[in-house]
């Protein structure tokens, strides 16, 4: 079986009401900010996003928009969850990473790309913003966190072979993309949270888990079928698409696949401890 791990790059301290519809304003949640590592037999260690990093909270020359973002969310960076520390823990260095699969381009998923100057970057074409800072910010993307040669390093999931991906039915849905051509990592569209937002299915990992990333903020949202509450709902790329993705993940979970979410405060069996 293949190996899959998730590390927590930062804690987000929020009031439940701000991210869960009907939640309490008095109850506080400590959300995680996961990024993943997948051991592939020929590709080596594949990174899934990069998590948060100092480029968001203290990077020199940060834009006013990025500074405001950091002030509002106040990510509490974790030393043991920093990308170099996590790689060292599993016996690797940033230079060993040849492939980074990006679920989307929000700051908490790309802040460590500067540490990986030679990796190819795999994502959906739809995630790439239009030209100019205004177009990027409309996608929730801070281009200053992307490497200068970002366009030259891109490979798109839409160019990978089509394969059935889980949707709760026995035959799945023919919208998956076989990223390595061997059925080990299947990208699947989970639109709504951000442009080009994808999930990942790992059929060769014990339990056959699905990484739902930011299609929901907390696991309870899958059980009750609710989108995040305001203000989190206000930043959705499409509330209608997000609701459809939430239903799909709920069905996948009901069919027996463990569903992992980036920010779910509850630990799961794939988390590094």
Q: What are phi and psi of 48, to 5 degrees?
A: -115, 105
pLDDT digits (tens, 9 = 90+) for 4-30: 999 999 999 988 877 777 777 778 899
For residues 117 and 123, give the distance between their C-alpha atoms in angstroms, rounded to a whole number: 16
Quote the pLDDT of residue 236.
87
Which helix (H) or strand (E) segment holds residue 252: the answer is helix 239-254
**DSSP code of residue 138:** H
167 C-beta neighbours (distance < 10 Å), count: 18
When pLDDT is cut at 50, 70 and 90, the band that residue 146 belongs to is: very high
User: Is pLDDT at 132 greater than 90 in this prediction?
Assistant: no
CB distance 228 to 25 below 8 Å? no
Q: Which ranges constitute the DSSP H helices of 20-113?
A: 54-57, 64-73, 83-89, 107-110
Q: How far is CA 209 from CA 23, 54, 179, in A?
A: 28, 30, 16
pLDDT digits (tens, 9 = 90+) for 168-192: 988 999 999 999 999 999 999 999 9
Q: How far is CA 217 from CA 62, 161, 203, 235, in A?
A: 27, 30, 23, 13
Query: C-alpha angle 117/120/121, rounded to 5°?
Result: 100
For residues 13 and 18, give the distance between their C-alpha atoms in angstroms, rounded to a whole number: 11
Find, among 207, 200, 204, the residue nearest to 166 by Cα.
200
For residues 2 and 84, give the distance between their C-alpha atoms in angstroms, rounded to a whole number: 22
pLDDT digits (tens, 9 = 90+) for 204-219: 999 999 999 999 999 8
pLDDT, mean over the chain: 92
When pLDDT is cut at 50, 70 and 90, the band that residue 95 belongs to is: very high
Question: Higher model confidence: residue 61 or residue 47?
Answer: 47
User: Is pLDDT at 60 greater than 90 in this prediction?
Assistant: no
CB distance 23 to 17 below 8 Å? yes
Give percent of the chain with pLDDT exceeding 70: 96
Query: Half-sphere exposure of residue 105, counting CA atoms within 13 Å on the CB side?
Result: 26
User: Is pLDDT at 225 greater than 90 in this prediction?
Assistant: no
Q: Which ranges constitute the DSSP H helices of 206-238?
A: 220-224
CATH number of 3-261: 3.60.15.10
Quote the pLDDT of residue 135.
63
């Amino acid at each position: 079986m293949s190996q899959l791990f998730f590390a927590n790059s930062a804690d987000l301290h929020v009031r439940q009401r701000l991210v869960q519809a009907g939640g309490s304003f008095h109850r506080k949640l400590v959300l995680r900010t996961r990024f993943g590592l997948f051991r592939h037999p020929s590709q080596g260690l594949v990174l899934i996003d990069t998590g948060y990093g100092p480029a968001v909270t203290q990077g020199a020359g940060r834009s006013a928009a990025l500074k405001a973002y950091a002030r509002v969310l106040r990510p509490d960076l974790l030393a043991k969850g920093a990308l170099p520390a996590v790689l060292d823990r599993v016996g690797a260095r940033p230079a060993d990473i040849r492939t980074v699969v990006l679920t989307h381009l929000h700051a908490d998923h790309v802040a460590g790309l500067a540490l990986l100057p030679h990796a190819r970057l795999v994502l959906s074409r739809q995630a790439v913003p239009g030209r100019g800072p205004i177009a990027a910010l409309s996608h929730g993307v801070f281009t200053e966190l992307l490497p200068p040669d970002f366009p030259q390093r891109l490979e798109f999931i839409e160019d990978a072979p089509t394969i059935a991906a889980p949707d709760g039915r026995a035959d799945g849905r023919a919208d998956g993309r076989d990223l390595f051509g061997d059925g080990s990592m299947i990208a699947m569209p989970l639109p709504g949270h951000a442009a080009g937002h994808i999930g990942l299915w790992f059929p060769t990992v014990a339990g056959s888990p699905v990484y739902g990333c930011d299609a929901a903020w907390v696991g309870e949202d899958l059980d009750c079928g609710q989108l995040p509450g305001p203000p989190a709902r206000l930043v959705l790329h499409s509330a209608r698409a997000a609701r459809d993705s939430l239903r799909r993940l709920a069905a996948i979970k009901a069919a027996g696949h463990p569903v992992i979410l980036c920010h779910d405060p509850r630990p799961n069996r794939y988390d590094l401890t």
